[in-house]
A and B are shown apart, each in its own frame.
Chain A
Amino acid sequence: MAVPKRKMSRSNTRHRRSAWKAVAPSLVSCANPACDAKHLPHRACGECGQYGARNDRRQVL
């Protein structure tokens, strides 16, 4: 079985992990004027549970 020849240095470990970057998702504001919360685009709003265009919303959740 193949095994590592050397212990991986703390520096190499940290260099590798420094490349793991979190990216903030782009959000849209809810079409419901009474709610106006931020949620993921093309998803139902988590606050009020509505989905759809501003004049054609429906309650999903």
Chain B
Amino acid sequence: MPTPKKGARLGAGPAHQRLMVAGLATQLFEHGRITTTEAKARVLRPVAEKLITKAKKAELGTVASLHQRREVLKTIRDKEVVHALFTEIAPRYAERPGGYTRITKIGPRKGDNAPMAVIELVTEDYAPTQRATRPATAAAATPAPADEPVTDETVTDETATDETEEAPAADEAAVEAEEAAVEAEEAAAEAEAAAAKANEAAAKAEEAAADAEEAAAESSSDDTKA
């Protein structure tokens, strides 16, 4: 038995499946909502939406109305339902760009435990949804890189600044620490202020102040070498 490229075969041959889906589509347009198995609802959905699209095209007058009506009649044999589809259902969806049906799962059926679903025509008025703004993601992305160099700086401060990977930040800290060291090496308060400035440049609070003091003493020894 040939199987569909997408979706389930529904335990029948191609012709039988076409008939079953046609019946489901007819009932859906007649009643607006039907309860069926989840697999049948998933097979029905694209078929029903394409039928609504044909009805919409005829309604908007872009193509010949009679041809669209005959195309739909190939699937839905009930002329009353087709008339209701073209005159009542299609105009409702003039604004909506697809997505005319909605599937809601309602759990397994008693008897054979088949997963059931409700497929219904969407009755709400179309309201375009606002997409997520990119600045929020960009703002969320920028703090993350800013945190990492700070943590690396504290690590390098603890490891006696032998690693010169953090050259710019370490140099700024070293320059200000050198000035503070020249004025008064023992003045811990000024060293903390200089460390605070260096840390503000690195977008970090006072956590690294104690480490910066150690860095100041060590950077002075490094500066004598340089």
Contacts and interface: CB of A to CB of B under 8 A. Distances in A.
B118 A39 contact: no
B99 interface: no
B107 A60 contact: no
A51 B104 contact: yes
Contact of B104 (A39, A40, A46, A60): A60
Interface residues of B, number: 5
A23 interface: no
B105 interface: yes
A42 B106 contact: no
A31 interface: no
A44 interface: yes
Nearest to A61: B106
Interface string B93-118: 00000000000111100000000001
Interface string A24-61: 00000000000000011011101000010000000011
Contacts of B106: 43-44, 46, 60-61
A43 B107 contact: yes
14 contacts: A39-B107, A40-B107, A42-B105, A43-B105, A43-B107, A44-B104, A44-B118, A46-B106, A46-B107, A51-B104, A60-B104, A60-B118, A61-B106, A61-B118
